[in-house]
Structure 1
Amino acid sequence: MGRASSAQYVSSSHEFLDESHEIRSQYAEDGYSGPPTPPNHSPDRYSSSAIIQQSPSVDSPADGLTVLSLLNSEPSVHPQRYSAPPAPTSYSLPISPHVADPDEPGNFAYQPPPGARVLWPLESEQEAMLLQHYVENIALFFDMVDNRCHFGVHVVQRAKTNSTLMNAILALSARQLSRISDFDPYVADAYYQRCFETLIPALNDNIAIRDESLLAATVILRLMEEMNISIIGSDPQGHLFGTQAIIRAAEQSYVGTTGPNFRQAIYWAAFRQELWISLMTQRAFQLHIFPADRSMGPADDSIWATRTIAHLGDVCNFAFGEDRHSVLRYSQLMDENKVWRTQRPGSFDPLFWRRDRDGSGKMFPDVRYHQKTHVMGNQYNTLAHMLLVVHDPTIPQLGPSHKQSRAVVDRMAQEDVRTLCGVALSNLKVFPCIFVACFAIALVGDRFAARDDQEQLRDLWFACERSHGFPPTASIRQLEESWGWPST
């Protein structure tokens, strides 16, 4: 497996100029008036690397902190370079270009509202780069089981006439680049603040709150805030309230049994984000579980994948909710997990399977799938199975039988984690699958006692963060402490 290089992100010979003073007028009609002109500063003082060195922690602009100084200044034009992240130790997980799904319709045409101001073509080369980076390297995070790729196609087209949505996209793209390279972190903060200026008032508007573009922007910003956890040290839960408010306001118009559409794609993205929050905080869902299809009848592969995502939501509510001691509920969920594996279409079968990747008997398995829906459906089902195994209410809590039962549970959980990691490394183009593996590592990685296993889990986590800017390093550091590793 080759090492990541700067060519996988942007050629090292390219330079991007901070042209914000030339493009601020683009958004004036949407409520952004632009900052006043500041004193001149030398490019060296405000270069990307200098800012990172001077500001080890970047605060959330939602709290009115240091990003305001950027918005109230107009630095002189200077070249901004960004380089590849440090070389990984064991794994290399390049950001893969977006691969079009064969089922994606090729005749999509976005018709802007009458009289809407069109923001394209963008006047800033840097903004064009950020938008392309979102399309090629981020949108799949939202479109992981959506064959129509709404976030990679429809959302981008809507951003052509919606500055709130455009600023959200640019903020997220810039944030990820700042996490995987030396791209200026304050660029993301600037777009984040711009988005707030139109987003916050809209959240108080009963009509605007039902707007799909607004909901998409909120979901995109939520992912950015999850990346910010690595920087500010805690999850501010900033836009979670906005996501919940919008989804609840529009929930009545959702029909869970029909084919995928734009609104449903947004709901599923928000639903999966709430899943990760539920898992990392180990609490029951705070978001309504909308009427998703939980049947096991004939359906296309995308629906089969979403069925097991809804199942994982039910498992989270069981594991972290009031019913966690219910043997009946546990049995129902375990049956549902098994039924999905036995009744899902044969297309979900791996096209290649080997017990481990190098024949040593110690590595992760090599499990390759045909399509992203097959990868993600199996990942979510395996993660749900792992959670059920470790939250089995029938396990004795005391006495010798507890130790024996715990050993059995640990082996089953370890096998699920190895499968999740193997699938992630075998299907790199479907990069969201590695996030599922990382969350499993965070949840049950402490159950691995062998140093070789621990190092493999740590290396995969670090490789994921280097390539994608997420999940945060703090979680793996806590795991190292649980393993008894000396602090570094």
Structure 2
Amino acid sequence: MPDEADILAPSAPSCLIGNIAANQGCLRLPRKGRKGRACLSTILTAAASRMLENAQEDLSDMQISQGDGVQPVCGRCSKSSRPCRYAQHRSATIAFRHSRLSTLVAQAEGFTKNDKIDVSVSTQPPAPTPVVTETTQVSSTSLFPNEPAVSALPADDRALPHNAIRYPASESGEAASSPSFPRNPYTVSPTAPIPRPGLFYRHAPRRLTTIEGELLQFFVQNIGPWLDVTSPERHYTYTVPRLSLQCTLLHTAIMACSAHILRLLNPERTELSSEEDKYQSTCINLLIPILNDVGSAVQDEAVLATITILRMSEQYDEYHIDRQCHLVPGAFAHLDPSAQASTRTGGLLQATFYSYVRADIRMAILGRCSTKIAVSSWPLDESYPETGADWANRMTWLLVHAINHCFGRECPGLLPRAQLDELIDEWRSNVPDTFEPYYYEEQERDSFPVIRLLCSWHVVGLQFYHTAKILLASHFPPSPPHTTPDTNINTNNILTYHHHLKTTILPHVHALCAISFSNDHFGCRINASHCVAMGAQFLTGRGDQWRVIEYFRMLGTENAWPSRACLDMVGMEGV
């Protein structure tokens, strides 16, 4: 039985009884002159007695810590000649810092904060608790029987939702708001529970083979950053690979995409062809029945991310043989309408959406046709962008409107052209200073200056800005007094058009090419290869034309990026 000296010991307590004494704080003495004032010793004795009684009552059902750490009997218990007991740690407890992703996965699998955790008491010292870092995958323990353990994400990934429809409840009990991004009017409630196929998640984290490890590493180091050009959170670099360890659909998509691109970069590695075919077949067989269940499948981020990854692989085919099987027009057609169209970043779903839009833009420019995604279903977000990535996404959506004005004039839902011109000019006037180059240098033997920007989304935003200006200026040149605004280039006014070309179009062409040539982020290069090809048609200098041709040959040689359509476009006349 502990004594008063043990309880009132001045040293910092670490065992249970010492903690109780410390938590009492300083004893308050009666003020001088108050009636019934007791002496100090009486007060201390009474307080000690009360604390001892409370400690004895709570000792049996409270967790007892390790005291001063001496095992098997801590120093305080040895001094007081009392049994030293330790709390036995529950084996299912995982020591990591929680991200919002892991919380949402847990909620999706039925785990709630109300689940009771029984803590048993043992007379044996506890085994040391392993510390799991954020980048460590926990494979042996889980909060759920036969369920995958979810590793935590980096601090900048903690705002990532896992499922686009099932949102966690807030502290007030209300459902949290859904991610804000372009919405379609045909969908179900964002809080409705969504059934998921058994093959979709619900399996333990896989152990990768040697070839799978290589393919996943290639995805993390290359393909993920290419898809994350407007995602500061780098969802395809961090989040998607980790989800793939527990999601067969994502895993097979990543393996197929990586094997395909690696095979193109290393033609001598013939074994990659069979790996690609194997994973591609498995992924498609899983994806088709999921897509047939339109009511639930397309609302899950993993399904949409899978489509995006497959589309990335598909884009490595030359334009004339690209079947666009995974540029699915209705991929985002069944999301909830609770929010207006938004350019805000902040989720895997939005990163996937804008990756899809950029792929759609590429095919529209190469094919000189309207985009597949219907602009009428996604009204422009009128809120003020908050981050550089938000500004880049806003220009992405303005470029979609510009493309449809130029190549699909019957397309409903377009912004009026005058308003679109105004919005594009306002974008350039109001864009943050971070979009200004940190390095600029004129070249003596090259008409394209060196223009270097800090972030990939700065590059993408300005690439799309200059592309939109080139498209609109070339398709809607200033009209002579006797023509209508929609009249095409009037061949009787060659001098007028030549002046328009020199003063309005070519400055944007040179800026677009200079930005694309100066920044070596491959995601930005492939993002604008078609834009450069479209703009390079207006270049008149032979040296400038050869510089563009060398650029496309470099993309094909070093990165296996298909450039035949771009080279053909450079040789075409007009837009």
**TM-score normalised per structure 1:** 0.69
Are the equivalent residues in 2 in contact too, given 1:417–1:437 (CA < 8 A)?
Answer: no
- CA distance in 2: counterparts of 1:459 and 1:251, whole angstroms: 46
Q: Deviations 1:128-184 (Å, cap 9, x if unpaired)?
A: 111111111111222111111111122112111111211111111122222223243
- CA distance in 2: counterparts of 1:136 and 1:382, whole angstroms: 29
* Residues 216/334 of structure 1: CA separation in 2 closer, same or farther (3 Å cut): same
For 2:453, the equivalent position in structure 1 comes to: 369
SS of the equivalent of 1:295 reads coil
For 2:327, the equivalent position in structure 1 comes to: 240
For 1:461, the equivalent position in structure 2 comes to: 552
SS of the equivalent of 2:540 reads coil
SS of the equivalent of 2:536 reads helix
- CA distance in 2: counterparts of 1:162 and 1:390, whole angstroms: 47
For 1:45, the equivalent position in structure 2 comes to: none
Is the counterpart of residue 321 in structure 1 residue 403 in structure 2? no
Report the residue type matching 2:265 in the other structure: I
**Count of residue pairs the alignment pairs up:** 370
* Worse overlay, 431-440 or 189-198: 431-440
Q: Which structure 2 residues correspond to residues 239-318 of structure 1 after superposition, within 5 A?
A: 239-241=326-328, 244-252=329-337, 256-257=341-342, 259-289=345-375, 291=378, 294-295=381-382, 297=384, 299-318=386-405
SS of the equivalent of 1:367 reads strand
Is the counterpart of residue 359 in structure 1 residue 444 in structure 2? yes
Q: Deviations 1:398-439 (Å, cap 9, x if unpaired)?
A: 3532453145326643332322222123221x3222224421
* Runs of 4+ more than 6 Å apart: 108-115
- CA distance in 2: counterparts of 1:310 and 1:381, whole angstroms: 11
For 2:291, the equivalent position in structure 1 comes to: 203
Is the counterpart of residue 432 in structure 1 residue 523 in structure 2? yes
* Worse overlay, 384-393 or 174-183: 174-183
Is the counterpart of residue 447 in structure 1 residue 531 in structure 2? no
Match for residue 470 of structure 2 among 352, 367, 386 = 386
Q: Deviations 1:165-212 (Å, cap 9, x if unpaired)?
A: 111111111222222232436232332222111111111013223222
Match for residue 512 of structure 2 among 405, 420, 425 = 420
* Residues 274/167 of structure 1: CA separation in 2 closer, same or farther (3 Å cut): same
* Residues 410/218 of structure 1: CA separation in 2 closer, same or farther (3 Å cut): farther
For 2:213, the equivalent position in structure 1 comes to: 128
Cα displacement (A) at 1:323:
6.1
Are the equivalent residues in 1 in contact too, given 2:299–2:334 (CA < 8 A)?
Answer: yes
Are the equivalent residues in 2 in contact too, given 1:168–1:220 (CA < 8 A)?
Answer: yes
* Residues 480/385 of structure 1: CA separation in 2 closer, same or farther (3 Å cut): closer
- CA distance in 2: counterparts of 1:353 and 1:131, whole angstroms: 37
- CA distance in 1: counterparts of 2:245 and 2:340, whole angstroms: 28
- CA distance in 2: counterparts of 1:436 and 1:410, whole angstroms: 26
Is the counterpart of residue 347 in structure 1 residue 434 in structure 2? yes
- CA distance in 2: counterparts of 1:467 and 1:381, whole angstroms: 27
Q: Which structure 2 residues correspond to residues 36-55 of structure 1 after superposition, within 5 A?
A: none
For 2:566, the equivalent position in structure 1 comes to: 475
Q: Deviations 1:313-350 (Å, cap 9, x if unpaired)?
A: 111111112269xxx93332222111111111112111
For 2:280, the equivalent position in structure 1 comes to: 192
- CA distance in 2: counterparts of 1:462 and 1:154, whole angstroms: 33
- CA distance in 1: counterparts of 2:554 and 2:406, whole angstroms: 29
Does 1 or 2 have the higher relative contact order (CA < 8 Å, sep 6+)? 1
Are the equivalent residues in 1 in contact too, given 2:159–2:346 (CA < 8 A)?
Answer: no
Are the equivalent residues in 2 in contact too, given 1:424–1:433 (CA < 8 A)?
Answer: yes
Is the counterpart of residue 224 in structure 1 residue 313 in structure 2? yes
SS of the equivalent of 1:246 reads coil
- CA distance in 1: counterparts of 2:541 and 2:155, whole angstroms: 45
Report the residue type matching 2:526 in the other structure: F
- CA distance in 2: counterparts of 1:334 and 1:380, whole angstroms: 14
Q: Indicate the structure with greater helix content.
A: 1
SS of the equivalent of 2:235 reads coil
Q: Deviations 1:267-292 (Å, cap 9, x if unpaired)?
A: 11111111112111111222133546
Report the residue type matching 1:368 in the other structure: R
Are the equivalent residues in 2 in contact too, given 1:421–1:434 (CA < 8 A)?
Answer: no
Report the residue type matching 2:448 in the other structure: F
SS of the equivalent of 1:353 reads strand
SS of the equivalent of 1:156 reads helix
SS of the equivalent of 1:151 reads helix
Are the equivalent residues in 2 in contact too, given 1:349–1:369 (CA < 8 A)?
Answer: yes
Cα displacement (A) at 1:225:
1.3
* Residues 335/371 of structure 1: CA separation in 2 closer, same or farther (3 Å cut): same
Are the equivalent residues in 1 in contact too, given 2:160–2:348 (CA < 8 A)?
Answer: no
Cα displacement (A) at 1:127:
1.4
| Percent identity of paired positions between Structure 1 and Structure 2 | 24
SS of the equivalent of 1:339 reads helix
SS of the equivalent of 1:247 reads coil
SS of the equivalent of 2:440 reads strand
Are the equivalent residues in 1 in contact too, given 2:249–2:287 (CA < 8 A)?
Answer: yes
- CA distance in 2: counterparts of 1:250 and 1:402, whole angstroms: 49
SS of the equivalent of 2:202 reads coil
SS of the equivalent of 1:394 reads coil
SS of the equivalent of 2:324 reads coil
- CA distance in 2: counterparts of 1:109 and 1:436, whole angstroms: 24
- CA distance in 2: counterparts of 1:296 and 1:109, whole angstroms: 21
Report the residue type matching 2:547 in the other structure: Q
Report the residue type matching 1:378 in the other structure: L
Unaligned runs of 5+ in 1: 1-102, 484-488
**TM-score normalised per structure 2:** 0.59
* Residues 108/335 of structure 1: CA separation in 2 closer, same or farther (3 Å cut): closer
- CA distance in 2: counterparts of 1:253 and 1:161, whole angstroms: 30
- CA distance in 2: counterparts of 1:190 and 1:125, whole angstroms: 16
Q: Deviations 1:10-57 (Å, cap 9, x if unpaired)?
A: xxxxxxxxxxxxxxxxxxxxxxxxxxxxxxxxxxxxxxxxxxxxxxxx
Are the equivalent residues in 1 in contact too, given 2:438–2:452 (CA < 8 A)?
Answer: yes
* Residues 192/305 of structure 1: CA separation in 2 closer, same or farther (3 Å cut): same
Report the residue type matching 1:246 in the other structure: A
